[in-house]
Amino acid sequence: MKKELACLVIHGIGRQKPDFADGLVAGVSAQLDTLGHDPEVVAWQSVYWDDILRPAQDTYLKAAYQGADLNARGIRTLLLHALGDAAGYRQLPSGRSRGGEETISYRRIHERVRDAVRSLYREPLSSRPVPLVVVAHSFGGHIISNYIWDCQRRPDKRLSSFERMNWLSGFITFGCNIPLFTFACTEVVPIRFPPPRLPVHLKRNARWLNFFDPDDVLAWPLKSINAAYADVVHSDERIHVGGPVTGRTPAAHLAYWDDRRFARQAAKFLDTLL
């Protein structure tokens, strides 16, 4: 079936498997069906990067738990993954105006993003550009923001316009912690959204939507960063995800993936593009 829309999904912190996006894709597809769309018109592609940073973290956790009597292991593990991912990636956010060290991990993760976008463009889309929506969880929002920034500031002319993220028509961030990476910046500047080269007819419905559960301590509003972010982020959407118990704890950070309410909100936005 001819694809009318493309969705790129990237995960955030927490141990992930390559099929991390399956629950979200199924949930959004079901919601699209109720809205009268054939889910097959949407091409999905995930970006899996956990295996790049996981080994060093797992090695340390094993040694630490064997060598010391530590309490609150669940929260400790969650925090180590959050801080460990940020330290391993170790690159200032897209708000940095110039310079910045690009580590091996930074380059390897961005290569995963580039390869995923290439696969999306060449396989299900058959090298035919369509509106692109990025769906990014947690630290994945920071990663993909940096990737888009690099595409906009240092475009690789060997790539197609779609692969350079010029067709980015939607940006859905959830459980996002971009604000935490802005404090080291002398000037905080977001990506250009909608992209300057996005076809004019797509700009009208282009949106950056940021969803956060108030019990998710790793999720933050983005419009509050500064006036520039307030201009490019359409809305910070408060949402409750997870069950009656876990949904009221920091574990809500990992509950968006299989939550029907979040899937419904994502599908409602995709409906505006379809």
Which tokens belong to 124? Answer: 């299900």
For the chain, the domains span 5-273
- The position carrying tokens 């708000």 is 95
Q: What is the mean pLDDT of the chain?
A: 92
- For 52-86, b/e burial (b = at least 16 CB within 10 A) is bbbeebeeebeeeeeeeeeeeeeeebbebbbebbb
Please, what sign has the CA dihedral across residues 104, 105, 109, 112? Answer: positive
Upstream peptide bond of 194 is cis (omega within 30 degrees of 0): yes
CB 110 within 8 A of CB 150: yes
- What is the distance, to the nearest Å, from the Cα of residue 38 to the centroid of all Cα atoms in its chain? 24
> Does domain 5-273 correspond to CATH entry 3.40.50.1820?
yes
User: What is the pLDDT at residue 56?
Assistant: 86
Coil, strand, or helix at residue 109? helix
Q: What pLDDT, in 10s, does the model give residues 173-225?
A: 999 999 999 987 889 999 999 999 999 999 999 999 999 999 999 999 999 99
Coil, strand, or helix at residue 112? helix
User: What is the pLDDT at residue 101?
Assistant: 53
Percent of the chain predicted with pLDDT > 70: 96
Q: What pLDDT, in 10s, does the model give residues 21-74?
A: 999 999 999 999 999 999 999 999 999 999 998 888 889 999 999 999 989 888
* Residue bearing the bigger pLDDT, 79 or 169: 169
The upper half-sphere exposure of residue 25, i.e. CA atoms within 13 Å in the direction of its Cβ, equals 18
Cα–Cα distance for residue pair 210/106, rounded to 1 Å: 24
User: What is the pLDDT at residue 271?
Assistant: 98
CB 136 within 8 A of CB 173: yes
Number of H helices, E strands in the chain: 8, 6
**What's the rounded mean pLDDT across residues 97-105?**
60
* Residue bearing the bigger pLDDT, 1 or 100: 1
Residue 85 has pLDDT above 80, yes or no: yes
User: What is the pLDDT at residue 184?
Assistant: 79
Cα–Cα distance for residue pair 265/271, rounded to 1 Å: 10
Q: What pLDDT, in 10s, does the model give residues 25-40?
A: 999 999 999 999 999 9
Residue 18 has pLDDT above 80, yes or no: yes
Cα–Cα distance for residue pair 219/214, rounded to 1 Å: 8
Cα-based distances in Å from 23 to 26, 29, 226: 5, 10, 34
* Residue bearing the bigger pLDDT, 127 or 249: 127
Which tokens belong to 205? Answer: 């419905």
Residues making up the chain, counted from first to last: 274
Residue 92 has pLDDT above 50, yes or no: no
* Residue bearing the bigger pLDDT, 15 or 7: 7
- Among 8, 47, 29, 34, which Cα is nearest to 169's? 8
User: What is the pLDDT at residue 96?
Assistant: 44
Give burial (CB, 10 Å; 0-12/13-18/19+) of 27: buried
User: For the whole prediction, is pTM greater than 0.85?
Assistant: yes
Coil, strand, or helix at residue 47? strand
